Amino acid sequence: MTEAETQELHAWLWLDWRKTRRSKTLAEEMATDPSLSNEERQILAALNASHRTVYQVVRLVRGRGVELENVLEGGRVFVHDREFSLSAEKWCLVFGRVYPAGPYLFIAGGAHAFPPRQKEFIKGFLSYEFEKHRRSNPSAAWREFLRAKPEVLGRLTVKLHERMRQPLRLVTTDGEPLAFCKVHFEVKKPEEFLAGLRAHPELEELADSRN
The helix (H) or strand (E) run that includes residue 101 is strand 93-101
Whether the Cβ atoms of residue 97 and residue 80 lie closer than 8 Å to each other: no
pLDDT digits (tens, 9 = 90+) for 1-44: 777 778 778 888 888 888 888 899 999 999 999 999 999 999 99
Distance from C-alpha of 153 to C-alpha of 97, rounded to nearest angstrom: 12
CA 109 to chain centre: 12
Instruction: Tell me the pTM.
Output: 0.74
Which pLDDT value is given to residue 208? 64
SS3 210: coil
SS3 166: coil
Question: What mean pLDDT value characterizes the chain?
Answer: 89
SS3 127: helix
pLDDT digits (tens, 9 = 90+) for 114-146: 999 999 999 999 999 999 999 999 999 999 999
Question: What domains does the chain contain, in order, with CATH numbers?
Answer: 3-165 (2.40.50.140)
